[in-house]
Structure 1
Amino acid sequence: MNPLRITHRETPAGPLLRLSGDLDFDQAPELRRQVDQLDLRPGQCLVVDVSGLEFCDSSGITAFLTARQRALEARADVALSAVPANLLRVLTLVGLDRVFTLLPAGGDPARPTGQDTR
């Protein structure tokens, strides 16, 4: 098991969370806690860079959905950036590739690529 590491920085578009390690049942509460502490404002976009994720289970997917709900409540948007192929496959199977804005690595939230990331 690789512990989840989350780094946070502010960008002109909004907060950026970079995840690495495993996002599983034991680690998902930490992501939810950090998202809850963000100062999201209307019109911003929370970008979650998942390029460093080595594993993501259903608890991790639920944490992404919780982050999306938090963003929507703040009248902000959320995007997943640099989604690894294995996670993209899961998101696609359950239809979440249509729910989340998907960005390439280092992507600009103003220019989502959507399904072009496959």
Structure 2
Amino acid sequence: MSTRFSATTKAVPTGLVLTLAGELDSATAPAANQAVQRLALRDGDQLIVDLTGLTFCDSSGIAALIAARARARGAGATIALAAVPRHLTKVFGLLGLTDLFVVHPTAEHAQQAPAAEH
């Protein structure tokens, strides 16, 4: 288990960007979940989860991403993932989760694209 993890949030014109960096695993998923619960999402916002700095993600981390999706949808917001690491893209495919999230190459691209929800 790891403790090298950070979750930071910034407001952007389309909503919020939640940046997750480091190792998202069973030890750090609770911190990710707490960060998601603290988000001040409003109806019509887009939550962009930027994974540029994510180096590892286990099943607990995937569960945290799914919980973020549920939180966004519950607030009337959309969600998109940005800069999904190749290893996580492969895992999403193996688990049949590829249609669960809209994915963009960068957080900036996600901000410029029309918000879409799967």
How high is the TM-score relative to the length of structure 1? 0.89
> In structure 2, what is the Cα distance between the partners aligned to 1:57 and 1:27?
10
Map of 1:17-56 to 2, 5 A cutoff? 17-56=18-57
Please report how far the alpha carbon of residue 111 of structure 1 lies from its aligned counterpart in structure 2 after TM superposition. Answer: 2.1
Give the unaligned 5+ runs of structure 1. none
Please report how far the alpha carbon of residue 108 of structure 1 lies from its aligned counterpart in structure 2 after TM superposition. Answer: 2.4
Moved more, 90-99 or 79-88: 90-99
> Which one-letter code corresponds to 2:109 in the other structure?
G
- Which of 102, 106, 109 is equivalent to 1:107? 109
Map of 1:62-73 to 2, 5 A cutoff? 62-73=63-74
Q: 1:59-115: per-residue Cα shift (whole Å, max 9, x none)?
A: 000000100000111011111100111111111111222010101113224527x9x
> In structure 2, what is the Cα distance between the partners aligned to 1:25 and 1:6?
15
> Which one-letter code corresponds to 2:81 in the other structure?
L
Cα root mean square deviation, aligned: 1.6
Q: In the alignment, does 2:89 pair up with 1:88? A: yes
> Which one-letter code corresponds to 1:108 in the other structure?
A
Contact 1:16 1:48 in 2 (8 A): yes
How high is the TM-score relative to the length of structure 2? 0.89
